[in-house]
Structure 1
Amino acid sequence: MTTEHQTDPNQGETVEGATGAEPIDSFETQIDALKAELAKVAEDALRERAELDNQRKRLTRDVDMARKFANERLLSELLPVIDSLEAGLAAAGTDANALRDGMELTLRQLLKVVSDNGLVAVDPTGQPFNPEHHQAMSMVDSADHAPGHVVQVYQKGWLLNERLLRPALVVVAKDA
């Protein structure tokens, strides 16, 4: 084997190296190893991308199912109220008191269900007017109420877990 002096173009130094097929075989082996490693990395990246895509699809499906059945518990609790209304209508005869008693019982049942689910009625009669929770429908003179206080409630307001769902429709006492 003969050696010759070569100048490395990157460093301008003289290096000694073997001539012949040995360095080429070594480079080809390194190139083949790098190609194999690149193919493995590309395959791993493709597999990870597919796994990420599948996970994204699963999450989308889970969110859709959660939205679709979010009210399941509430609606299942309302079924007895519907049953009570249907039974009351079926049994309703000429006795108005029995019908009224049945309606009151059904209303209490319904109010319990909504209360258990975080819905609270707002009845601001006699309280100071609060524009964040009340909607003034009119103003009247009132000797019995202080100015700016709610005189009458046309429609109750409702809070869902302490957040306003519907403002109360109210009549407010005028300033004197």
Structure 2
Amino acid sequence: MSPQRYNRTNFVTSAVAVKILKAMQGALKDGLQHYVENKRGQRWLRVCVRPVDGSDSRFTFEFHAGNGQSVGHLVLQALFVWSDEHESEFSRLVGELYRLTSHPYIVWRQAEAKALQDAADKERREWLKARGITHSFKAPGGITYLGRWVRNWLGRKKFLAIADHNGAEFFKPFKLDNEALWYGTTQGFFV
């Protein structure tokens, strides 16, 4: 028995169109392979994003049936039977993919890494704020200290250095000398 060969009629129904569009949206969002399942829950169509041959910055959708048959041309033929809203959604997704200059998986991973880094930075800043850091001060030698302004018993201001510019806390906080205060600059609030 030979494997099933797909034709245009396998893709013209509205239910199949909705499933294909959902798989396309998923592939465009995360760059991974997404599958369309039949009524029995079996995967019969794979939708993925792949680079256009000979181009590093252009991408296209790829449609493969479960038997290995490339069915992208059949999906395009069925597109003429789909409703106007499904057809416009298909065109929008293809246009959005065409505008991308890097693979959606790379974009997704970079956004995920940036979110993790931002969360770690925010947590570190909150930890430093809890230690009393309010300002950033650049000494004449170019060294940046994180700390806060304090007053001595005469009411004179001194800068209490608590951490270096990377946020590594000193073993013991120290006050900067007068020369550093005269020639250094306060860079701003530590937020």
**Larger Rg: 1 or 2?**
1
Quickly name the TM-score band, shorter chain normalised: under 0.3
Higher relative contact order (CA 8 A, sep 6+): 2
Question: TM-score, normalised on structure 2?
Answer: 0.26
Question: TM-score, normalised on structure 1?
Answer: 0.27
Higher helix proportion: 1
